[in-house]
Amino acid sequence: MQSDIEVNELASFDINGRDDTASARIQRHVSEAFEKIAPFWPLKNLIAVNPLKGFENIPFEQAINEGIYYFQQNEIPVPLQDINRETIKWCQAFFDEGQATIKMPFRDQGLYQCFKRLATHDSNLNQLDANKLNFLSNLPATPEQAILLSLNKLEIRTEEYGKFLLLLLTTLPGWASHVSYKTEWSHAKDQQHPVTQAEYLALRSILAYLLWPNGIDIYHWYYNSKAGSGKINMSAALLKITENENRYQALLLKSIANNKHQPIKTDEIPNAQLVFCIDVRSEPFRRAIESQGNYETFSFAGFFGIPALINNELCESTYASCPVLLPPKHQVHENIYYKGKLKRKLLRKRQHIKILENSYQMLKYMFTTPFNLVEILGAWSALWMLTRTIAPMTATRFKREFLDFPHDHIPVSPVLNSLNELNGIDFTEQCSYALNFLRMIGLTKKFAPLIILCAHGANTENNAYHSALDCGACGGRSGAPNARILAAILNSDRVRIYLAEKNIRIPEQTVFIPALHNTTTDEIKFYNIEHLTDSKSFEKLRSDLLLASEINIRARSEKLLSDNTRSIVRSMKRRSSDWAQTRPEWGLARNASFIVGPRTLTRDIDLDGRAFLHSYDWEEDKDGALLTTILTAPMIVAQWINCQYLFSTLDNVSYGSGSKITHNITGKIGIIQGNASDLMHGLSLQSVYKSDHEQYHEPIRLMTVVYAPRSRIETIISKEVILQKLFKNAWVYLKCIDPVEAVIYSLTTDLKWQTCNATQEN
């Protein structure tokens, strides 16, 4: 029975959406429900996210239990499965980004209006029932009113609105996560098919009324499942996680405590200095190149502090190359070095390839031509498939040389100064980026003649998750454009004059060279080397980098269980070209710590590729502003990555994406299992498991180690709510190595410091 409040509300309900009070109340419930849903980025720029991000305001152990109740239900009622099936069908059609042969009409009007105009034609919904047809024909004008109408027809009590809407989200969390991304994180240019959170829940609510008239039973199912959730026993998993954490933290802190990490006082200038991304895959490579000679390495977030929109002259789209936590601030064009006839030839080639691709797609998807197309191209397609299978490296070279744009081997340079005030980076900001970069990593003197800004990316074939192997700090793309931008800034005479005024004097002979570390093959590619003045030193560095690559490849090949009977280097390169390879590399698997400090803190320690390293000199950061940036941006991204790997390992079906073998791409935006599942929003089984039953990733929470005065860290935490939440609720552990007191401290969950005996388990 409905309460008196509900009856009065229905009596005053305006079908045309003029009940502002009711709409505002529904919108509040919608917003609160979506707060529990983590965003999910599309395949083109996958970003690691904690799937329990919406529960970070409660302790980690409690959040895991809440996750069981909301996301790990293996058996759901049949009517709810029907609701999910229809939701998936509508979402696949609406959010499609080019995969569908026939486009859904009216998408530009938004999800709710699109559904409102088309739903009466869907017999799965109306079931040719006059009452249901009448309901669909007279839906309210706004999604908020549609939600209210559906909830009241389902006889949901007012005080249960929020819980019911939350259950509608958590019983199909993948698509809800994509809506969360579209409504809270995507840029305006991605909103060709607009959607709001209320529109998505209106769709779910309407389907609930149509397909489960007794939808109120969802409460009974939920509470009965919660009462019986002891069958999903996470206590053993939590105990194992804690044991792993204690063991790892004790060993790492002991190694750091025993390491002589005080800076060595010497006037010797390194032969070269290399700045890598903080990515865990950079750490073993840094160690390998340091072993080859007088080389000094640093690390910085892979976008090199430049939040930019990149537009390459050979591309036809502009993309953000910066962390998702930062809005892109500049639009930077990259122009081809080539001029005249050669440049025009390249541009014509791109146009011809585009015409061929469009023609092929058109013929492939027309009603009458696919059969003829198969007759014409069948033999060539068979030959191409055979080549890709037997000689994948040859096929990949051919594809990249003749079909892919932009080519890596075509030199481009960023345009920093533009007549258009909306493009480029003005001189004041160039100086600011250069100053902050050098001060943060502690590179303010003793400049080597060669300084390499080494971004990273990955090459794989037939891999839906390829962007997850690229640089997370660059929005799931290669960081090469950002390296080119910063190198151009630091090579600028005007910028160097400004830096000299700030007591940072870069020698005239010092040259900054952008580069790219391919984490799948361990190859290093250099860009814009025309500025070089010492070719002999550069060739020596290139030679040593080849040796470092081989060292790193050998170490990685053991972890990948690759076939070492053939050339190891060739075997690893083949993995990046093999379109049947489910595990081209391990990515960031086994990540465990985030270490902030000088390289001397860890240089003599084998961190086994498990640590995010961020260079930081506390003496160059008097007000703590640089450390604040590190802890509230790169560390947050590292925590998201850590949690994605942790939960994808803990439950690869609920929090991951299952086996790659049964993956299908839907709408070019995400992965589904089979032909119609929820949108999978985690890592595949092959990314975290050696086999179907043996884990490779060790699920533990991130430990952050900061080499800075305890008082400075304490001040930062007192001002930053996000840090208080993560440390207080034990989503991240924090250790402080105080350089003044020479003591290691551990932060407790009540945000108090206690001394940490690095020789004992913590």
Taking residues 153-164, report their average pLDDT: 94
Q: How many domains does the chain have?
A: 3
Rounded CA-CA distance 586/594 in Å is 18
pLDDT tens readout for residues 244-270: 999 999 999 999 998 865 555 566 899
* Local structure of 386: helix, strand or coil: helix
**Whether residues 547 and 435 fall in one domain:** yes
377 lies in the same domain as 455: no
Closest among 714, 639, 705 to 253, alpha carbons compared? 705
Q: Is there a single domain that holds both residue 470 and residue 356? A: no
Rounded distance between C-alpha atoms, residue 328 and residue 454, angstroms: 21
Count of other CB atoms within 10 angstroms of residue 425: 23
Q: Kindly state whether residues 514 and 375 are assigned to the same domain.
A: no
Residue 753 pLDDT: 97
3-state secondary structure of 477: strand
Residue 498: inside a domain, yes or no? yes
Q: Which of 226-230, 396-400, 664-668, 738-742 has the lowest mean pLDDT?
A: 226-230
- Please answer whether residues 81 and 673 qualify as being in contact, where contact means their C-beta atoms are separated by less than 8 angstroms: no
In a domain, 757, yes or no: no
| pLDDT value of residue 5 | 35
Q: Which domain holds residue 37?
A: 4-231
Same domain, 164 and 93: yes
pLDDT greater at residue 461 or residue 317:
461
**CA separation for the pair 210, 76 (Å, rounded):** 18
Sign of CA dihedral 586, 592, 596, 597: negative
Cβ neighbours for 505, distance < 8 A, ≥ 6 positions apart: 445, 499
Whether 534 and 385 map to the same domain: the answer is: no
Residues 443 and 483 in one domain: yes
Contact 705, 593 (CB under 8 A): yes
Scanning 610-757, the segments in alpha helix (DSSP H) are 625-632, 634-650, 685-688, 710-719, 721-728
- Ranked by mean pLDDT, which of 14-28, 427-441, 551-565 comes out on top? 427-441
Model pLDDT, residue 381: 80
Q: What is the pLDDT of residue 589?
A: 97
Per the model's pLDDT, the better-predicted residue between 425 and 406 turns out to be 425
In contact, 523 and 462? CB cutoff 8 Å? no
Q: Are residues 293 and 157 in the same domain?
A: no
Please write the tens of the pLDDT for every residue from 99-148. 887 899 999 999 999 999 999 999 999 888 899 999 999 999 999 999 99
Q: Determine the pLDDT at residue 605.
A: 94
Q: Which amino acid is at 724?
A: Q
Of 346, 343, 318, 322, nearest in space to 332 by CA = 318
692-747 pLDDT tens trace: 889 999 999 999 999 999 999 999 999 999 999 999 999 999 999 999 999 999 99
Contact 118, 90 (CB under 8 A): no
Shared-domain flag, residues 348 and 389: yes
Pull the structure tokens for residue 536: 């002999």
Is 324 within a domain? no
* 468 in the same domain as 351: no
Domain-embedded: residue 678: no
Per-residue pLDDT tens over the stretch 293-347 = 999 999 999 999 999 999 887 776 788 899 888 889 999 988 877 666 666 777 7
Model confidence at 4, in pLDDT bands (50, 70, 90)?
A: very low
Interval 81-103 mean pLDDT: 92
Residue at 206 is within a domain: yes
Residue 9 has pLDDT above 50, yes or no: no
Which of 62-76, 202-216, 304-318, 684-698 has the least mean pLDDT? 304-318
Angstrom distance (rounded) from CA 204 to CA 151: 11
582 within domain boundaries: yes
pLDDT at 756 > cutoff 90: no
Note the pLDDT of residue 325.
80
pLDDT-above-70 percentage for the chain: 90
Instruction: Write down the pLDDT at residue 384.
Output: 81
Q: Give the tens place of pLDDT for each residue, 553-592.
A: 999 988 886 555 557 878 888 888 888 899 999 999 999 9
In a domain, 527, yes or no: yes
Beta carbons within 10 angstroms of residue 144's beta carbon? 26
Residue where a domain stops, chosen among 565, 587, 609: 587
Supply the mean pLDDT for the chain: 88
Does any domain span residue 112?
yes
Nearest-angstrom CA–CA distance, 620 and 623: 9
For residue range 160-188, list pLDDT tens digits in order: 999 999 999 999 999 999 999 999 998 76
Same domain, 282 and 153: no
**How confident is the model at residue 365, as a pLDDT?**
67
Q: Helices (DSSP H) in 594-684: which residue ranges?
A: 625-632, 634-650
Residues 295 and 166 in one domain: no
Exposure string of 645-670, with b = 16+ CB inside 10 Å and e = fewer, is bbbbbbbbebbbbbbbeebeebbebb
